[in-house]
Chains A and B, each alone.
Chain A
Amino acid sequence: MTMFSARNWREYPHRYRLEASKFKKSGKTYFPKRIVDPETGDTEQETVKLPDTGKIVTYTVIRVAPSQWGDQSPYALAIAELTDGTRLMAQLTDCNVNDVKIGMEVRIEFRRIQTEGHQGVLSYGYKFVPKWY
């Protein structure tokens, strides 16, 4: 499918700067940013930057991958809970896929993610790496 670069560019605040919404009433943080707090209906918010460390809450190893990642499989994909309680999904890299475990401490790094769509837009974003790395 043809992806216009605006679609990628629009997500830069999240993918490049880890920007999230912190709502006034509930004090809860959501990533990516959203207009309405799903719990309170509140729209008053400030933009905050997510912490860049957390723990793996679950993971898998993708062994049959979509074509963009064919040359990278197997790769680990995980959900991490960051130190502020926010959760996000990303690839876990710079480690052996067989060493990935729930509870593992990770850090977020800025990485190239994929060449997206038929136009081949180079897309960057975040990946997890082991915290000690």
Chain B
Amino acid sequence: MREVCIVGVGFSKWGEVWRKSIRDLHTDAALAAIKNAGVDHIDSMYIGCMSGGLFVGQEHLASMLTDYLGMRGIPATRVEAACASGGLAVRQAFIEIASGISDIVMASGVEKMTDCSGNDATFALATAADQEYEVFNGATFPGLYAMMAHAHMAKYGTTRAMLSAVSVKNHHNGSMNPVAQYPFKITAEQVEKSVMIADPLHILDCSPITDGSAAAILTTVDIAKKLGKPYVKIIGSGVGTDTIALAQREDLTTIKASTIASQRAFKMADKTIDDVDFAEVHDCFTIAEIMVAESIGKYEPGKAGEAILAGETSLEGKFPMNTSGGLKSKGHPVGATGVAQVAEVYKQLTGQAENGRQIRSNPKIGMTQNMGGSGGSSVVHIMEVA
């Protein structure tokens, strides 16, 4: 297996981007990444997109997005694992470089979510859950994570204050991210006074609906050195799956797919969680960040909430999580999220995080954890400074 590295990343504008279509959002991010990397071509591309079909009525993105990028003819593959589509695109690009099939591959992600009504967007997102046995009975995504939150609170005594701390921290970090959809700070009181969506989750516990795209250029170490741009190595990649339906999980208080994915990635990297300096994790809801921090083995079950409340995962803490602002503040264009997480780790490891959100303790190893649905799939990457 060849060593794989990331040599450049790029973003489109994120938010409610009325002036941009799915093709323009993707082209903006892809051109930014290509320019950032300084490459003159790409051999192929993988596009993470959850539901072009339901959000904008457009499938066959491999054809459309290569054409609009000015790359007609190159191989392209759209990959889908609900909210983990982006992470999976990075993994496919990683495999293609590692295998020797291609030398320069782009992993991108895109979602255009505001071209349909809120109700249609809710329906599209809910297709990541079990249609016949969850959604049919009235489940929504906030509802599924709310059920996990109640189970976690009952088992471990997780508190409202711990949930709020996730949101407050991520908004603090996101206030320094030029990409963020909601780049402002909030207080715990604001979270707790915001409208209730599904008990115990308020709207400020939930990630928003976002238009956006992100892209990363993956290549070999030799090419990265020739390009002369900052690069980082991807030293571990892991994917895990679990039941799509929440009711059938062995344990409602953990994300087993993330445990499996992280163990596989650590094994490939020959590292442990103790070697990792910081992480971008999938905080689609505040409870998710708490459960993921435990599922990847950073904290004992039931201990992550306390640690987050105590500031251990803040920008200045022992283990910063979601320095980008996370899904909560940065936004969650579903298919783009996994790629954006990798892009943030790239920026942190190369000292390029903007506006004062650079981790000051000189981090050497970072990880990403991206997940689909209520935890039915998960993708983890471990990255190291070159």
Q: A11 in the interface, Cβ–Cβ < 8 Å? A: yes
B310 neighbours in A (Cβ, 8 Å): none
Across the interface, A62 reaches (CB within 8 A) one of B133, B138, B248, namely B138
- Give the docked Cα–Cα distance between A30 and B133 (Å): 13
CB <8 Å contact, B123 and A77: no
Q: Shortest distance in angstroms between A73's beta carbon and chain B's nearest beta carbon?
A: 9
Q: A43 in the interface, Cβ–Cβ < 8 Å? A: no
Q: Shortest distance in angstroms between A125's beta carbon and chain B's nearest beta carbon?
A: 7
Q: B98 in the interface, Cβ–Cβ < 8 Å? A: no
A59 neighbours in B (Cβ, 8 Å): 147, 150
Q: A48 in the interface, Cβ–Cβ < 8 Å? A: no
Interface majority SS on A: helix, strand, loop or mixed? Answer: strand
Across the interface, A66 reaches (CB within 8 A) one of B138, B151, B200, namely B138
CB <8 Å contact, A89 and B134: yes
Interface residues on B, range: 20 to 34
Q: Shortest distance in angstroms between B251's beta carbon and chain A's nearest beta carbon?
A: 11
Chain B contacts with A in 190-206, Cβ cutoff 8 A: 195-201
CB <8 Å contact, A91 and B132: no
User: How many A-B contacts at CB < 8 Å in the complex?
Assistant: 91
CB <8 Å contact, A60 and B136: no
Q: Shortest distance in angstroms between A69's beta carbon and chain B's nearest beta carbon?
A: 5
A residues with a Cβ closer than 8 A to B are 1, 11, 14, 30, 32, 57-69, 75, 77-79, 87-91, 102, 113-114, 116, 123, 125
- Give the docked Cα–Cα distance between A99 and B248 (Å): 25
A69 neighbours in B (Cβ, 8 Å): 138
A58 neighbours in B (Cβ, 8 Å): 147-148, 150-151, 154, 252
Across the interface, B246 reaches (CB within 8 A) one of A66, A68, A79, namely A79
Q: Which residue of B lies closest to A30 (CB)?
A: B248
- Give the docked Cα–Cα distance between A21 and B119 (Å): 35
Q: Which residue of A lies closest to B202 (CB)?
A: A63
CB <8 Å contact, A91 and B199: no
Pull 16 A–B residue pairs with CB atoms less than 8 Å apart, ordered by A: A1-B123, A57-B151, A58-B148, A60-B143, A61-B198, A61-B199, A65-B138, A66-B119, A75-B138, A77-B138, A79-B247, A89-B246, A102-B151, A102-B154, A113-B137, A114-B136
Q: B245 in the interface, Cβ–Cβ < 8 Å? A: yes
A87 neighbours in B (Cβ, 8 Å): 247-248
Q: B126 in the interface, Cβ–Cβ < 8 Å? A: yes
Chain B window 114-153, contacts with chain A (Cβ cutoff 8 Å), 1 for yes, 0 for no: 0000010011001000001110111110110011101100
